[in-house]
Amino acid sequence: MNIGIAANCVIFERAGIGKYAQNLLQNLLKIDKRNQYFLYFTFIRHRQERERKIRQIFGGYKNVQIKIFPLPAAWLDFLTTTSLPLNGLFKERLDLYFAPYVAGIPRVFSPKNPPKMIFTCHDLVFLRFPEHRGSRLSNYYLKRHQIAIKNSQKIIVPSAATKKDLIKFLNVPPQKIVLIPEAADERFRPIRDKNQIKSIISRYFDPQIKYILSVGTLEPRKNLAKLVEAFSLLPHQILRQYRLVLVGGQGWNNNQLSKTITNLNFKEKVILPGFVKDEDLPYIYNGASVFVYPSLYEGFGLPPLEAMACGVPVVAAKTSSLPEVIGKAGILIDPQDEMALAKAIKKLILNPKLAKKMAQKGIARAKNFSWSLAARQTLKVFKTLKRGESGKTEKNTLR
């Protein structure tokens, strides 16, 4: 079977979608030596740098061919929304075409004998919280999802919450949706070398401080302004010792976070190191006393799973998919209740035995999620699509 992959998000997306695509594809290629894979990329700028990265990630597999279209990525993105067929670009005879992200599915692939298509829907934040994206972006994402849903035979989702949203908001038949949870990268683990942890942390902020951590793009749905407010409610003895570290790149329309920090006079208490390199992030997790994730909505929520895998006690919102991921291995709270947030953080900081117990539960819980399992489930969907079957995957036993 010839399988085409829309792989641009591996090099253009640094956060969750990029991690998902790279981990899933690498694990797929490890277990599948029979099928032929064609990985499609589209770019002109920084060609040597990007080609080097692609070869580093995918160059060691014999059944992979790298295909680079010398076009601006935005041009291909536009072409896939038009009625122009793309068979002029895709020279290979593909049996299946997989997009790890919704934008990879075209309106018209080829006028005759198009491949079976499948894509991953990570979340429907543009419908749940359109004010967080703005009308232009929300309309764009709606259009892309409508195209992908119409043209795909199967849709992969990372959580039951996202499946429910697809059925409710976009009327997708349940039998068309396949639930395949994501996982934390293998590098996310407890690290015992304290000196090494401090050495990596020193690249971003003072390694001597104690800190409460949150990781994610700095955007409204992450609810970080509320977290800063909760942090301000902690007892003075904790505020004297601890800082709040918010790791992540700047997102869209996030003025409220800056205003909250300024209004509380917390510029020295809240540290914003920006985007942290993937290889450094496990050390940032390991240095934290508590990880807090008060997000209003997540399609899956990788950061709390990464924190649990590193052995950091977790406080998270009891919203959308997060209870599915965290189970009973963390403290779940109402993300709009800053007092409840503060109480949960305080409980873990002032009760080391409880923090250790939650950390151990988190490590055990994180082991239930595996990129190897996700790859096997995805490959099974590929195979059943070829046979024209229902696409059922391995039973998910997570609770």
- Where does the pLDDT of residue 390 fall: very low under 50, low under 70, confident under 90, or very high at 90 and above? very low
Domain with CATH 3.40.50.2000 in the chain: 2-183+370-387, 194-366
Q: What is the pLDDT of residue 111?
A: 80
Q: Is a pLDDT exceeding 50 seen at residue 397?
A: no
| Alpha-carbon span 347 to 161, nearest angstrom | 29
pLDDT (average), residues 19-47 = 94
Q: Is the dihedral of CA 16, 20, 26, 31 positive or negative?
A: positive
Q: Is a pLDDT exceeding 50 seen at residue 396?
A: no
Topology (CATH) of 2-183+370-387? Rossmann fold (3.40.50)
SS in 3 state form for the chain? CEEEEECHHHHHCCCHHHHHHHHHHHHHHHHCCCCEEEEEEECCCCHHHHHHHHHHHHCCCCCEEEEEECCCHHHHHHHCCCCCCCCCCCCCCCCEEEECCHHHCCCCCCCCCCCEEEEECCCCHHHHCHHHHCHHHHHHHHHHHHHHHHHCCEEEECCHHHHHHHHHHHCCCHHHEEECCCCCCCCCCCCCCHHHHHHHHCCCCCCCCEEEEEECCECHHHCHHHHHHHHHCCCHHHHHHEEEEEECCECCCCHHHHHHHHHCCCCCCEEEEECCCCCCHHHHHHCCCEEEECCCCCCCCHHHHHHHHCCCCEEEECCCCHHHHHCCCCEEECCCCHHHHHHHHHHHHHCHHHHHHHHHHHHHHHCCCCHHHHHHHHHHHHHHHHHCCCCCCCCCCCC
pLDDT (average), residues 84-89 = 85
pLDDT (average), residues 379-391 = 74
pLDDT (average), residues 208-236 = 95
- Where does the pLDDT of residue 387 fall: very low under 50, low under 70, confident under 90, or very high at 90 and above? low
**pLDDT tens, residue by residue, 245-282:** 999 988 766 788 999 999 999 999 999 999 999 899 99
pLDDT (average), residues 232-249 = 96
Q: What is the pLDDT of residue 283?
A: 98
Q: What is the pLDDT of residue 388?
A: 54
Q: What is the pLDDT of residue 113?
A: 85
The mean pLDDT value of the chain amounts to 92
Q: What is the pLDDT of residue 250?
A: 82
Least confident among 19-33, 129-143, 184-198, 297-311? 129-143
Pick the CATH number of 194-366 from 3.40.50.720, 3.40.50.1000, 2.60.120.10, 3.40.50.2000: 3.40.50.2000
Q: Is a pLDDT exceeding 60 seen at residue 12?
A: yes
B/e letters for 374-390, b = 16+ CB within 10 Å, e = fewer, are bbbbbbbbbbbbeeeee
pLDDT (average), residues 208-228 = 95
% of residues, the chain, pLDDT over 90 = 81
**pLDDT tens, residue by residue, 325-344:** 999 999 999 999 999 999 99
Structure pTM? 0.92
Least confident among 239-248, 255-264, 387-396? 387-396
Residues 6+ apart with CB under 8 A from 99: 5, 6, 105, 117, 118, 119, 120, 148
Q: CB of 102 within 8 A of CB of 142?
A: no
Q: What is the pLDDT of residue 206?
A: 97
Q: What is the pLDDT of residue 91?
A: 85
Q: Is a pLDDT exceeding 90 seen at residue 149?
A: yes
Least confident among 4-18, 176-190, 213-227? 4-18
